[in-house]
Amino acid sequence: MTGTKDQDSFVRSLIMEAQLYCGEFSDFDTFYVGGGTPSVLAIDDMKRIIKPLEGLFSFAAQRESTIEVNPGDASLAHLRALRELGFNRISLGVQSWDDGLLALLGRRHTAEEAEMALVRCRRAGFDNISIDLIYAIPGQNRRTWENTLRKTISFDPEHLSCYELTIDRETPLGALVESGSISRVDEAERAEFFLATAEFLAVAGFEQYEASNFARSVSLRCRHNMKYWNHAAYLGLGPAAHSFNGKKRWANHRSLALYITALEEQCRPVADEETLGNDELMLEALFLGMRTIDGIKIDQFNHRFHRDLLGESGDRIGCLQKEGFLILEEGSLKPTTKGLLMADSLALL
Amino acid sequence: MHMIKYIRNFSIIAHIDHGKSTLADRLIERSGIINKRFFRNQILDTMDIERERGITIKSQAITLPFISTSGERYLLNLIDTPGHVDFSYEVSRSMASCEGVLLLIDAAQGVQAQTVANLYMAMDHNLSIIPVINKIDLPTANVEMVLDQIDAELGLDPYSALTCSAKEGIGIEDILEAIVHRIPPPTGDPQSSLRSLIFDAQYDAFRGTVIHTRIFDGTVKQGDIIRFMHAGRVHKVEEVGSFLLEREPRELLTAGDVGYVIAGVKTVSDVRIGDTITKDRQPSETPLPGFREVKPVVFASIYPIASDDYEDLSVALEKYKLNDSAFVYQKDSSIALGQGFRCGFLGLLHLDIVQERVEREYDLSIILSVPSVRYRFTVTSGEALFVDNPAHYPEITAITRSEEPYIRAAMMFPDRYMGAMLKLIIEKRGVNSHVAYPSPGRIELTVEMPLASVVYDFYDRLKTITQGYGSFDYNLIDYRESDLVLLDILVNGEKVDALSQIVHRGIARERALHTCEKLKEEIPRQMFKIAIQGAIGGQIIARTTISPFRKDVTAKCYGGDITRKRKLLEKQKKGKKRMKMVGSVAIPQSAFLSVLKTDES
Ligand SMILES: Nc1nc2c(ncn2[C@@H]2O[C@H](COP(=O)(O)OP(=O)(O)OP(=O)(O)O)[C@@H](O)[C@H]2O)c(=O)[nH]1
Ligand SMILES: [Mg+2]
């Protein structure tokens, strides 16, 4: 967003959008501000959004309220203001502790800024901090990655998201890969990074509750993101946001201009919408479930999709158990660490 | 009605791709029977598969009106024929209903193996031969060279040759004049008893079997009671007519005519191609000489990828067979692949086409086992067993003699490729080779070799080695003793019987390695390690492994990623449906076919 005029109409549009949905969606126990760089939004604007939302929807008293913050934008004043606005969880995009790699990834902050940001988050009173990291960056090896993890946990974060690198063309690294001067880390090595991460963080007392997510305890899992993996309904507001009501999923216009125009005309700013059939929902439930340590609750699954999972795929499941990809426990089909690595294949059973 | 002296019956014959169908286009165009707006290239290639591949598979007859320069009105019955060696029986049938042929020769390529083979066939049928040099518009055209070849290699008078460009429409008038002046009108007596040769049959969903026939004597019309002389069956004629672009009903077909008869015949299999039609009342005494029965030379089993599709496949093959009498099949079953059908084909192109048409026209996914020729085993009881299915390989201790079919192959190519060709011949176990030099710089190589060597990638290799300048034709000659073994392929220890092959002992190891490597390329990595082995008896002679896939989970899967991810998985799931599960290993359809291919090394 460039001028304040844009900012104004954005805020107005967002509230208009919320009004469109307040009948269909009412109770929320998690709230998440993220995607893009929300921390550039001035605190005043944020207030102008959140207050009306609190009027339109009902938020649980014990809600989880997360905001994504860029280490470069995290002044103490800003963080304190966020806290006052009701945020109780910070997701900080640290990514790496190596300035060279950060530059390669096209990140605008430095390792030192990230370090300071973490200290400030604590000082501002946040007791639930999540740190994002990236692995399998060309040039990274197991030792340097473990050093990254070691330094990260020295800040005692409650939660970690460790993502395998996805190469973005827009970044310097993307350009180098495209031109062929740097090659991607191969699949076997990426698997090694994944396993090393799981092992290292297990020893450090983190539970890998989803393929890329680690929490100090069950209560510190990201409740908001769990909704995606549990196939629960969610409402996303703003450009490029996605929503799901249990049957339909829709995506808003990516372009701010289209988003604003649509709402000015009292239309839903939706670019794509799909209604999901039983088979589609089932496939989603499978691949989402297989990403999480809790796996798939068999009774619930069978009831929801009118299937007999063990009856229909018993042989295959038996084979996958024998090979150490899955375990059957307390009526759930749960991926092992090795299984989490192959969540997509497991979903196809 | 036309007088017999104004009828001409001729086929266009040539080596593959020399331009037969394109010349037919020009002749059709010239006759004015079709509105220019509806015209499309190779208009007689009506099947989708013919149009896509640019080849003719089935002969196609059409009747064209023509007024000669001297003002006489003629009816020209043209038959366009296929050029590929697998379908040469189509050519020979077409010729049986003609008095002459246009023998097309590509001005750039010159005389090729099928040019020679088709010429001999035409001579056997005592037909008038008009050599036509086509594609003279090509920059690489060399008419002088071709004229020399017509003289030296075909033994025809080069002065009798015409030149044309079918593509540009050059020389078409001369060809039409030559047809009426140089090809004799049919002989035959409309007054005597009906004798009409069945040279083809086609299935029409509304009318049943449409019989393609050439009347030699007598006449036939609606209401006649006709009899097939060999089959002995009697039918009542519902309709007779000519082939314009569509079928055109006529009152009567008479001696000399080429046309169709519809007579309530249910399936194409009820008609024997080569049979003679006569009338039930005043039958002719002697039938016309028929055709040699076409016999399949290559055999393979077809299985549905999804076992549930077996019934559908069964129906599809039954329907397919209606229009392809050269295709034969019977029930078969495989331990690894379930129920299927054992099928006989005229060659690999035929096999390829059957596969594609069955898949496409009946929307089925099928797998083909490794093709085999028909071997002969003599067992201790003295009995000779013909085996075209590796699954029926006899008990090894009982075999006293193993034999395989041999062919005589004729190849033509520029002499600069001689060395490389000889190497190929040796590799393919060729014996008794003869070399002739039909004209300067050109070689005609005749060699006897196992049919199995040809089935397995011979044609592609020949084309590669000779950079497209080589051509090839063959005939089956006899069975010869051979040291044969049964090669099995195992995937994770499970025998995949559709990949079993009967092979000569000398090449077994190499074939086993090749098969393992090809499978390794085609079978996608899976969650488990996959071992692929080649074995003779219990002995492993080749092996390779496919390392497992270890990570496919994507980094992020939040609200906005779910739809995209699902679509990706749906696609994979679809792909998996096109794979056959053998034990816990998914083998793609392409793997079964890839085994047949070699890499140009
Ligand atoms: N330049 C040129 N190309 C031609 C001429 N006649 C045919 N062709 C091309 O040669 C190719 C083969 O032509 P077809 O008419 O399909 O040949 P065909 O002999 O019927 O082939 P098969 O039926 O497969 O044996 C096509 O690409 C034609 O366009 C010609 O006079 N000049
Ligand atoms: Mg053709």
Residue B383, pLDDT above cutoff 50: yes
CA pair distance B553, B536, nearest whole angstrom: 40
Q: Could you tell me which residues come within 8 angstroms of residue B518 by beta carbon, excluding any fewer than 6 positions away?
A: B591, B594, B595, B597
The alpha carbon of B586 and the centre of ligand 1 are apart by a number of angstroms equal to: 42
CATH of the domain at B211: 2.40.30.10
Judging by beta carbons within 10 Å of its beta carbon (0-12, 13-18, 19+), is residue B205 exposed, middle or buried? Answer: exposed
Residue pair B211/B97 in contact by the 8 Å Cβ criterion: no
Do A347 and B569 count as a contact with CB atoms less than 8 A apart?
yes
B461 in a structural domain: yes
For the beta sheet containing B338-345, the strands, ordered from the edge strand earlier in sequence to the opposite edge, are: B328-334, B338-345, B298-304, B366-368
Give the mean model confidence (pLDDT) for residues A77-86: 95
pLDDT (0 to 100) of residue B569 = 94
Whether B269 has a pLDDT exceeding 90, the answer reads: no
With a pLDDT cut of 90, the percent of chain B lying above it is 63
From the list A163, A284, A319, the residue facing B566 with the nearest CB is: A284
Chain B residue numbers with beta carbons less than 8 Å from the beta carbon of A68 are: none
B552 CB neighbour count, 10 Å cutoff: 18
Q: How many CB atoms lie within 10 A of CB B350?
A: 22
pLDDT value, residue A272: 95
Gap between the Cα atoms of B206 and A289, Å rounded: 54
Residue B44, phi then psi, degrees to nearest 5: -80, -15
Residue B600 binned pLDDT confidence (cut-offs 50, 70, 90): very low
User: Is B255 domain-assigned?
Assistant: yes
User: What pLDDT, in 10s, does the model give residues B88-116?
Assistant: 888 988 999 999 999 999 999 999 988 99
Q: Whose CA is nearest to atom 30 of ligand 1?
A: B135
Q: What is the pLDDT of residues B331-355, one digit of tens each?
A: 998 887 889 999 999 988 899 899 9
Q: For chain B, what's the residue count?
A: 601
If pLDDT is split at 50, 70 and 90, which confidence band does A37 have? low
Give distance in angstroms: CA of B42 to centre of ligand 2: 7
In-domain check, residue B539:
yes
CATH of residue B515's domain is: 3.30.70.2570
- Note the pLDDT of residue B252: 93
H helix or E strand, kind and range, residue A59: strand A58-69
Q: Determine the distance separating the centroid of ligand 2 and the alpha carbon of B130, expressed in angstroms.
A: 18
User: Mean per-residue pLDDT for B548-571?
Assistant: 93
Q: For tokens 């006293």, what's the residue?
A: B400
The pLDDT assigned to A1 comes to 43
Residue A260 backbone zone (phi > 0: left; psi -120 to 50: alpha; other: beta): alpha
Q: pLDDT class for B470, splitting at 50, 70, 90?
A: confident
Task: Flag the least confident range among A27-41, A90-104, B158-172.
Answer: A27-41
DSSP A290: T
List residues near ligand 1 (CB under 6 A): B 14, 16-22, 42, 54-56, 82-83, 134-135, 137-138, 165-167
pLDDT per residue over A82-112, tens digit each? 999 999 999 999 999 999 999 999 998 999 9
d(CA A197, CA A135): 9
In sequence order, what are the residues at sequence separation of 6 or more whose Cβ sits closer than 8 angstroms to the Cβ of residue A7?
Answer: A1, A41, A42, A45
Among candidates B198, B128, B188, which has minimal Cα distance to B160? B128
Q: Is the model's pLDDT at A64 over the cut of 80?
A: yes
Give Cα B465 to chain centroid, integer Å.
Answer: 23
The domain total for chain B is 5
Q: How far apart are CA B195 and CA B277, in angstroms?
A: 6
Sign of the CA dihedral running B396, B400, B405, B409? positive
Helix axis angle for A298-305 and A309-322, nearest 10°, is 140
* Full 3-state SS string of B541-579: EEEEEECCCCCCCCCCCCHHHHHHHHHHHHHHHHHHHCE
B585 touches B545 (CB < 8 A): no
B274-285 mean pLDDT: 91
A267: three-class secondary structure by DSSP: coil
Considering only CB atoms, which chain B residues are within 8 Å of A225?
558
* Distance in angstroms (rounded) separating the CA atoms of residues A274 and A250: 6
Helix axes B458-465, B418-427, angle to 10 degrees: 160
Same domain, B99 and B165: yes
Closest A-chain CA to B554: A164
Using the beta-carbon criterion (under 8 Å), do A228 and B562 form an inter-chain contact? yes
Q: What is the CATH number of the domain that holds B327?
A: 3.30.70.870
- Whether residue B37 sits in one domain with residue B165: yes
Counting ligands in written order, the one closest to the CA of B55 is 1
Q: How far is the CA of B238 from the centre of ligand 1 (A)?
A: 38
**Residue for token digits 């019977």?**
B330
List all residues of chain B from 433 to 462 with a beta carbon under 8 Å from chain A. none
The Cα–Cα gap between B389 and B303 comes to 14
Rounded CA gap, B306 and B366, in Å? 8
Do residues B319 and B436 share a domain? no
* CA–CA dist A307, B404 (Å, integer): 54
Q: Which of B532, B530, B541, B451 is nearest to B487 (CA)?
A: B541
Nearest-5° Cα angle at B335, B333 to B336: 110
Decide if A225 and B552 are in contact by the 8 Å CB cutoff: no
Cβ A46 vs Cβ A73: under 8 Å: no
Residues 554-583 of B with CB under 8 A from A: 554-560, 562-563, 565-566, 569-570, 572-573, 576
B250 and B318 inside one domain: no
| SS3 letters across A165-182 | CCCCCCCHHHHHHHHCCC
Query: pTM, whole model, 2 decimals?
Result: 0.74
Closest CA to A67 of A44, A45, A86: A86
**Cβ–Cβ gap A187/B555 under 8 Å:** no
A215: Cβ–Cβ under 8 A, 6 or more apart, which residues?
Answer: A158, A159, A160, A206, A207, A209, A221, A222
Chain A neighbors of B569, CB-CB under 8 A: 283, 287, 344, 347-348
Contact between B444 and B111 under an 8 Å Cβ cutoff? The reply is: no
Last residue of a domain, one of B474, B496, B517: B474
Question: In this structure, is residue B316 part of a structural domain?
Answer: yes
The structure tokens listed for B253 are 């077909």
CA end-to-end span of chain B: 62
B362 inside domain? yes
For residue B570, the model assigns a pLDDT of 94
Q: Judge if B137 and B54 occupy the same domain.
A: yes
CA distance B596 to chain A (A): 30
Are residues A194 and B551, on separate chains, in Cβ contact within 8 Å? yes
Q: Phi and psi dihedrals of B285, rounded to 5? A: -75, -45
CA dist B580 and B524 (Å) reads 12
Phi first, then psi, for residue A71 (nearest 5°) are: -55, -30
Q: Are B233 and B227 contacting, i.e. CB atoms less than 8 angstroms apart?
A: yes
Q: Give the A-side interface with B, CB within 8 Å.
A: 35, 163-166, 187-188, 190-191, 194, 211-212, 225, 228-229, 234, 236, 240-244, 249, 251, 272, 274, 280, 283-284, 287-288, 291, 316, 319-320, 323, 325, 340-345, 347-348
In the reported structure, the alpha carbon of residue B135 is separated from the centroid of ligand 1 by a whole-number distance in angstroms of 8
User: Which of A178-182, B74-78, B572-576 has the largest mean confidence?
Assistant: B74-78
Residues B170 and B52 occupy one common structural domain: yes
Both B154 and B79 in a single domain?
yes
List the domain range (segments joined by +) for residue B358.
298-369
The 8-class DSSP code of residue A292 comes to: B
CB pair distance less than 8 Å for B562 and A244? yes
CB B94 within 8 A of CB B59: yes
Do residue B458 and residue B530 come from a single domain? no
Query: Which residues of chain B neighbour A291 with C-beta distances below 8 Å?
Result: 553, 557
C-alpha distance from B548 to closest chain A C-alpha (Å): 10
What is the maximum span of chain A, computed from C-alpha positions, in angstroms?
A: 62
Tokens 């029926």 sit at which residue? B392
Structure tokens given for B595: 């085994």
* Ligand 1: residue whose CA is nearest its atom 32: B135
Residue B595's pLDDT is 80
How sure is the predictor about A36, in pLDDT bands with cuts at 50, 70 and 90?
A: low
Residues B327 and B211 in one domain: no
What is the distance in angstroms between the Cα of A287 and the nearest Cα belonging to chain B? 8
Within-domain flag for B444 = yes
Please, what sign has the CA dihedral across residues B356, B358, B361, B362?
A: negative
- Pick from B446, B474, B502: which residue ends a domain? B474
Taking CB atoms and an 8 Å cutoff, what residues of chain B touch A341? 550-553
CATH of the domain at B381: 3.30.70.240
d(CA A327, CA A295): 9
Contacts of A279 (CB under 8 A, 6+ apart): none
Best residue for ligand 1 mutational test, from B118, B167, B349 (most atoms within 8 Å of Cβ): B167
More confident residue, B460 or B83: B83
What is the C-alpha to C-alpha distance for residues B30 and B39, in angstroms, rounded to an integer? 12
Same domain, B158 and B32: yes
Q: Considering the domain boundaries, does residue B146 fall inside one?
A: yes
Q: What are the backbone angles phi and psi of residue B269, rounded to the nearest 5°?
A: -65, -20
Task: Please tell me the predicted confidence (pLDDT) of residue A206.
Answer: 98
Spatial distance between the Cα atoms of B558 and A227, rounded to a whole number of angstroms: 9
Contact B305, B337 (CB under 8 A): no
Higher pLDDT, B246 or A247: A247
- Percentage of chain B lying above the pLDDT 70 cut: 99
| B46 and B161 share one domain | yes
Of B555, B557, B559, the CB nearest to A164: B555
Residue B548 sits at the chain A interface (C-beta within 8 Å): no
Task: For residue B175, tell me if it sits in a domain.
Answer: yes
Report which ligand 1 atom has the smallest distance to the Cα of B41: 29
- Beta carbons of A341 and B573 less than 8 Å apart: no
Q: Which residues of B touch A319 (CB under 8 A)?
A: 584
pLDDT at residue B423, as a whole number: 94
| Contact assignment for B560 to A240 by CB distance below 8 Å | yes
Measured in angstroms, the CA of B199 and the nearest CA of chain A are apart by: 53
Residue in B550, B554, B572 nearest the CB of A348: B572
Q: What is the mean pLDDT of residues A233-260?
A: 95
Q: Which of B550, B556, B573 lies nearest to residue A191, judging by beta carbons?
A: B550
Which of B451, B474, B497 terminates a domain? The answer is B474
Q: Could you tell me how many CB contacts below 8 A there are between chain A and chain B?
A: 98
Secondary structure letter of residue B270 according to DSSP: G
Residue B584 forms contact with A (CB below 8 Å)? yes
Yes or no: say if A60 and A28 are a contact pair by the CB < 8 Å rule: yes
Check if B527 contacts A (Cβ < 8 Å). yes
| Full 3-state SS string of B90-131 | HHHHHHCCCCEEEEEEECCCCCCHHHHHHHHHHHHCCCEEEE
Same domain, B351 and B428: no
